[in-house]
Amino acid sequence: MNDIRGLLGTAVNVQSMVFGNMGETSGTGVAFTRDPSSGENKFFGEYLMNAQGEDVVAGIRTPQKIDTLQKANPGVYDQLCHIREILEKHYHDMQDIEFTIQEGKLYMLQTRNGKRTIFAWLRSQVEMVEEGLIDKKTAVSRVPAAEFNKLFAPILDNNYIRDLGLKEATHGLNASPGGACGQIYFTAAEAEEAAAMGKDVLLVRTETSPEDIGGMAVSKGIVTCRGGMTSHAAVVARGMGSPCVSGCGQIHVDEIKKTLEVNGQLLSEGDYMSIDGFTGAVYAQKIPVKPSEIMQVLEGTMNEKESTLYQNYSKFMGYVSELKTMSVRTNADTPSDAHHAVQLGAEGVGLCRTEHMFIGGKRIISMRKMILADTYGERQIALSELLPMQREDFIGIFRELKGLPVTIRLLDPPLHEFLPNDHTSRHEMALQLGTTVEAISKKINALQEFNPMLGFRGCRLAIVYPEILEMQVRAIIEAAITVKRQGVDVHPEIMIPLVGIYKEFNFCKEHAEAVIAKVFDEQGLKVEYKIGTMVEVPRAAITADEIAKSAEFFSFGTNDLTQMTCGFSRDDAASFLSHYVNDPDKQFYPYDPFQTIDFDGVGKLIKMAVGLGRGVRPGMKMGICGEHGGDPKSIAFCQSVGLDYVSCSPFRVPIARLAAAQAAIAQNASK
Amino acid sequence: MNDIRGLLGTAVNVQSMVFGNMGETSGTGVAFTRDPSSGENKFFGEYLMNAQGEDVVAGIRTPQKIDTLQKANPGVYDQLCHIREILEKHYHDMQDIEFTIQEGKLYMLQTRNGKRTIFAWLRSQVEMVEEGLIDKKTAVSRVPAAEFNKLFAPILDNNYIRDLGLKEATHGLNASPGGACGQIYFTAAEAEEAAAMGKDVLLVRTETSPEDIGGMAVSKGIVTCRGGMTSHAAVVARGMGSPCVSGCGQIHVDEIKKTLEVNGQLLSEGDYMSIDGFTGAVYAQKIPVKPSEIMQVLEGTMNEKESTLYQNYSKFMGYVSELKTMSVRTNADTPSDAHHAVQLGAEGVGLCRTEHMFIGGKRIISMRKMILADTYGERQIALSELLPMQREDFIGIFRELKGLPVTIRLLDPPLHEFLPNDHTSRHEMALQLGTTVEAISKKINALQEFNPMLGFRGCRLAIVYPEILEMQVRAIIEAAITVKRQGVDVHPEIMIPLVGIYKEFNFCKEHAEAVIAKVFDEQGLKVEYKIGTMVEVPRAAITADEIAKSAEFFSFGTNDLTQMTCGFSRDDAASFLSHYVNDPDKQFYPYDPFQTIDFDGVGKLIKMAVGLGRGVRPGMKMGICGEHGGDPKSIAFCQSVGLDYVSCSPFRVPIARLAAAQAAIAQNASK
């Protein structure tokens, strides 16, 4: 009976599979050795009585039917339970088995590793480790990292949907997982206003732009009519961990009338909608949303003893930490993001984007004042208003990180992104700054660019206006000293963006070091720091040896590096990239290169840069901070080229940690 | 006397420099051993009587003064003539000498190689070769290639300006050399209309865009208020060989009123202006323009026997042809451009941009019909209208080239570049195509891109709409067969643009080959052809080995390759690139990377691609077709990495040939 080959056969030679005549029951069954939904160690399956011998295998699997067999033919049932154990022990994993019972005799037809939800994966693997069935390495390498984020997302109450028989109003792309429900608003400003009044907001936009960040941040979920899986809305939503359904072409927004029309249905501002970011479903009703159990425990609203899911998660992540070799950092711009990421296991901040600190509230006013400044003096005044705000942000983040490294990227986006597009906002801005709409429009026109991605941004801003860099470096170092005085260890890493040529880096580094020396002197206290660069312009990768002479670390900005290396803009590529990835006749790229690193192209460049950089500076610290930092296949690539860390959105930290552990296991195995 | 050291000294030890007492003449003189303006072998200089010993060296050099010395002191004059010969023989080049005469005694103070105009360079070097003073290699390597284009540009009549005491109205950047005079028009459409009526047109625009190509082509010269040396206007003007003054910030154009204001002066449409593209001067008057003598001979309006300049040019280019090893091709989109380029020595077409063939006249209507097509069938109808027009273009070019290779690039720019921006044009287009302004606007919005440089263009168009590629390939091959039937040899090279991944290339190649086989079959005649690609996306350079497996040639598109490798857009870089190149504190790039290849970055990538490509396909034909193909320093780089040819605008062909010869000489010398 321990001979597995003897247990199994096809329906053709069922005669050899007879285990004994246990009654008159007949029929075919499928079953899992554990619950494929929860992972509980409990026999779970379906056995259908069928005297006519009809093929009824493709039914819905429910545990009830197995109970029925237990009553109808306890002998066969016990035999099946015994076989269940043998199979699991042999295959060291949960099995999906097929069997048939002919006139009371049990025949085994087939077995294979069972498909299951991520929840079941987690529980089954942890329990198998504890049962001694598998080792930690096996458990960790099996769990599908790509689905790991589903553990954390809030979920729409599907029972409620089923009970009320609710139908989808429309369907878009499942751009960011999780359920969300709220009152709809059509502009970021209105969303912010409504959220400030305590409302649950669902932001519905034709498409989003960087100006909408504030409104997106306060919304429970985001719906867009245009844009794919890598549109601004989708990328930002995943970064924020907010549910998002993008590209709902059937929704037509009228911002003026403050209404939307979807398949003949008209909704107005303030009406409720719900979205399921797991599936892309959009409902024109209010539907309850439940947070994930793990998040409830992490946020302290549930005791970990009440949550089997959390306990398994915690044990499993313990295995992960033991096995991985790369660090996992997070991309966090606020103390609250940093806090969540550390809760989820982040070992540092790999990318703190300072531009997000210039948007929202009064900050944008000072920022705009800075941009409109005609002279160095005027610019200095505006910068001195921004300095204390920046410093406070960094203090908050340093405190949350408690000595873990924090990589802060200096101002990166083109300045026109901070200026308003519409006349009303320009008018408002003119009033705030005591200038004219004409002056503002003139500046906006002067800053207009044909290809903003390739424009006046990144370190180019610091080179033309070194005083911006100087303010930011001062804020970072003053904040670090403040936190150090409070007894908290601090490791700032200053990152110069968009470097293409070592002279740019050296210019910025020299200016930064001059400010740092001054602050140390003023404060009578020093902190450790590093100055390094993003490698995101192909030229930087090609000449990494020259840059590494003075840069202390590299962080690969794979979003921009992909755009420039492959020559397509993330925002515009939808029109042809779908052909490149999804069309079975073409499939020029095996995966969307904005989700998974293009190994043969961008990856080759990264490999080259790692080699050139470490050739000059052995052991040079290198990481990745693009969207790819949270993608398991890309993380395996990072492991293979010897990066020290990956950095990703806070809510992808657990996935990244798992993927890093899996990559380390795979690398070890292939050695 | 043959000891040069004995001839020269400083004023301190003039005693040792006495050549004899020849009278009572005194004073100081400077002279050239040949005329620095024309190069004529004629003693040319200044001798000033000055008993007071005042320093009068810095006077204006005129040949008359030497005549005066001949009369005042023929003995010293003869001695000076004798020394002139000794110095030239010793230094093997025209000398700029300083001397002094004290109480009739001649003292030589200093000698150095003389500065001279490009006209003088040409004549002096050719004559020295014929005098046996230098060899051809020396002659060719000395002439400054960067100034060579001045030989060909039409010139403003400076005597006229001087005689009438005309003053500049304003001054901009000398973006493209030559003089031009015409009646001013403020839109491309009005310029085309006026030119069609036989007027000499000067196009004055705030800035130009690809839509203006037609108007630019018919204008005698171009003035822009905005934009630098690498703005659209400047690049296109240099390409067309049209004089251009860009970035005239003091000119304010009012397109509605059809007027311009410059420093308080108001001009209206139809008024005359003149520009000097050599200097950047702009005049608010009509000033006569003279074509260059070489062009007059080439165009048959002057007999070459009447032009010493042409005779010297012709001899000199003979030396150049003997010495260079790389071919020089041209970027030409029309039979007339191709004709001029071949006259100037082009050895093929390196880049024929087919998109220019879709603009202007009735073609744009069919092109727009193609873009607006919703179905494959509608698109096919529009394409079938374009096919005969394309075929005629290619027939014309193949005939001009008489068997020299012609590289034709398939459609490259994003489609929205073919659609009108303003409401009036959209309305007109709607009438022409029998559709609505709304339908057009909707399409334009759908095609709108954030970063068009990185958008839906190049081979991406052919991949989504293979029928466009198929029409173009059919037109090329049918044209080639037609011309071959007429007894003219023909070598088409089909070039796939914007390839980043070998699968893109293979897809396009397969589609092209299917059409070619069909046309051969239909026509019962074959022609030789090649299918290759532009290397302009960094990814293509990095993976050149994969692409070279099926591509038969590479042409480096260094404009786009520079934009993507360095991460800055040519149209937007002015705001910071001036700091990078011109600011003496920064100078991150030694030259404008859009004018001279960035050797350490883009150049490294080119070197890599050459190595990878030839590793797979030994002896693979490679060239360059960006703006850099006409830049002497970039041409030297191309020689050093082993490219087979450079390709440049027709009017830069002679410069490129000279630079190629100089590069070959330098490379040989360094071996």
**CATH number, domain containing residue A18:** 3.30.470.20
Question: How close B499 comes to chain A (CA, Å)?
Answer: 9
Minimum-distance CB partner of A566 among B452, B537, B580: B537
pLDDT at A53: 40
Same domain assignment for residues B198 and B94? no
Residue A307 lies in a domain: no
B372-389 residue pLDDT tens: 998 999 999 999 999 999
pLDDT at B24: 62
The residues of A carrying an active-site annotation are 232, 625
- In this structure, are residues A626 and A649 in contact, taking their beta carbons and an 8 Å threshold? no
Residue B371 lies in a domain: yes
Q: How far is CA A423 from the centre of its chain?
A: 35
Q: Which domain holds residue B480?
A: 324-414+449-670
User: How far is A357 from A373, CA to CA, in rounded Å?
Assistant: 19
Alpha-helical regions (H) of A552-601: 558-566, 574-582
Residue A368 lies in a domain: yes
Contact yes or no for A464 and B575 at CB 8 A = yes
pLDDT at B18: 37
- In this structure, are residues A278 and A153 in contact, taking their beta carbons and an 8 Å threshold? yes
A133-155 residue pLDDT tens: 999 999 999 999 978 888 888 88
Same domain assignment for residues A76 and A194? no
pLDDT at B20: 41
Same domain assignment for residues B65 and B163? no
B153 or A634, which is more confident? A634
Residues in chain B closer than 8 A to A576 (CB atoms): 456, 460, 463-464
Retrieve residue A550's tokens: 């003075």
**CATH number, domain containing residue B520:** 3.20.20.60
- Whether B52 shows a pLDDT value over 60: the answer reads no
pLDDT at A49: 59
Question: How close B541 comes to chain A (CA, Å)?
Answer: 9
pLDDT at B59: 38
Contact yes or no for A560 and B571 at CB 8 A = no
Rounded mean pLDDT of B52-67? 49
Residues in chain B closer than 8 A to A535 (CB atoms): none
Minimum-distance CB partner of B568 among A454, A579, A586: A454
Closest to B524 (Cα-Cα) out of B484, B489, B475:
B484
A599-627 residue pLDDT tens: 999 999 999 999 999 999 999 999 999 88
Give the pLDDT band (50/70/90) at residue A446: confident
Residue A496 lies in a domain: yes
Minimum-distance CB partner of B500 among A543, A567, A605: A567
Residues in chain B closer than 8 A to A504 (CB atoms): 588
Same domain assignment for residues B239 and B98? no
Minimum-distance CB partner of B543 among A536, A576, A601: A601
A336-391 residue pLDDT tens: 999 999 999 999 999 999 988 888 778 899 999 999 998 999 999 999 999 999 99
pTM, two decimal places: 0.81
Closest to A207 (Cα-Cα) out of A272, A252, A263:
A252
A551-577 residue pLDDT tens: 999 999 999 999 999 999 988 887 788
- Whether B325 shows a pLDDT value over 90: the answer reads yes
Give the pLDDT band (50/70/90) at residue A671: confident
Three-state DSSP at A360 gives coil
User: How far is A658 from A516, CA to CA, in rounded Å?
Assistant: 38
pLDDT at A84: 94
Residues in chain B closer than 8 A to A371 (CB atoms): none
- Whether A58 shows a pLDDT value over 50: the answer reads no
- In this structure, are residues B568 and B524 in contact, taking their beta carbons and an 8 Å threshold? no
Residue B554 lies in a domain: yes
Same domain assignment for residues A81 and A18? yes
pLDDT at A52: 45
pLDDT at B507: 97
For A141-207, give the DSSP string.
HHS-GGGGGGGTS-EE-HHHHHHHT---SEE-EEEE-SEEEEEEESSHHHHHHHHHTT--EEEEESS
Residue A444 lies in a domain: no
A450-471 residue pLDDT tens: 899 999 999 999 999 999 999 9
Question: How close B181 comes to chain A (CA, Å)?
Answer: 30
Cα–Cα distance list, B589 to A261, A503, A512, B560 (Å): 54, 9, 22, 18
Rounded mean pLDDT of B75-94? 93
Same domain assignment for residues A561 and A631? yes
Contact yes or no for B456 and A543 at CB 8 A = no
Residues in chain B closer than 8 A to A498 (CB atoms): 567
Retrieve residue B383's tokens: 């394409």
Residue that is last in its domain, among A93, A116, A139: A116
Question: How close B39 comes to chain A (CA, Å)?
Answer: 43
Residue B629 lies in a domain: yes
Contact yes or no for A463 and B580 at CB 8 A = yes
Contact yes or no for B542 and A605 at CB 8 A = yes
Same domain assignment for residues B490 and B557? yes
Give the pLDDT band (50/70/90) at residue B21: very low
DSSP state, residue B205: E
Contact yes or no for A569 and B500 at CB 8 A = no
Phi/psi for A220 (5° steps) reads -75, -30
Q: Angle at the Cα of B387 (from B381 to B390), degrees rounded to 5?
A: 145
Same domain assignment for residues A198 and A276? yes
The residues of B carrying an active-site annotation are 232, 625
Residue that is last in its domain, among B244, B264, B290: B290
**CATH number, domain containing residue A212:** 3.50.30.10
Question: How close A594 comes to chain B (CA, Å)?
Answer: 14
Same domain assignment for residues A538 and A629? yes
| ipTM > 0.90, yes or no | no
Torsion over CA: B460, B465, B466, B470 (sign) = negative
Residues in chain A closer than 8 A to B537 (CB atoms): 565-567
Same domain assignment for residues B243 and B371? no
Cα–Cα distance list, B19 to A396, B79, B98, B324 (Å): 87, 8, 15, 46
Rounded mean pLDDT of A318-331? 97
B225 or A58, which is more confident? B225
Residue A150 lies in a domain: no
Rounded mean pLDDT of B465-490? 97
Minimum-distance CB partner of B565 among A449, A539, A563: A539
Give the pLDDT band (50/70/90) at residue B48: low
Which stretch of B3-17, B409-423, B505-519 has the lowest confidence by average pLDDT?
Answer: B3-17
| Domain count within chain A | 3
Residue type, B238: R
A and B: number of Cβ contacts within 8 A: 170
Same domain assignment for residues B533 and B460? yes
Mutate to test the interface with A, among B211, B568, B598 (most CBs of A within 10 A): B568
Give the pLDDT band (50/70/90) at residue A48: low
- Whether B9 shows a pLDDT value over 70: the answer reads no
Burial of residue A331, with CB atoms counted within 10 A of its CB: 0-12 exposed, 13-18 middle, 19 or more buried:
buried
Give the pLDDT band (50/70/90) at residue B239: confident
Closest to A371 (Cα-Cα) out of A437, A419, A411, A405:
A419
pLDDT at B224: 96
Give the pLDDT band (50/70/90) at residue B446: confident
Same domain assignment for residues B499 and B618? yes
Rounded mean pLDDT of A207-211? 85
Give the pLDDT band (50/70/90) at residue B4: low
Q: Percent of chain B, pLDDT > 90? A: 69
Which stretch of A289-298, A307-316, A481-490, B498-507 has the lowest confidence by average pLDDT?
Answer: A289-298
pLDDT at A270: 96
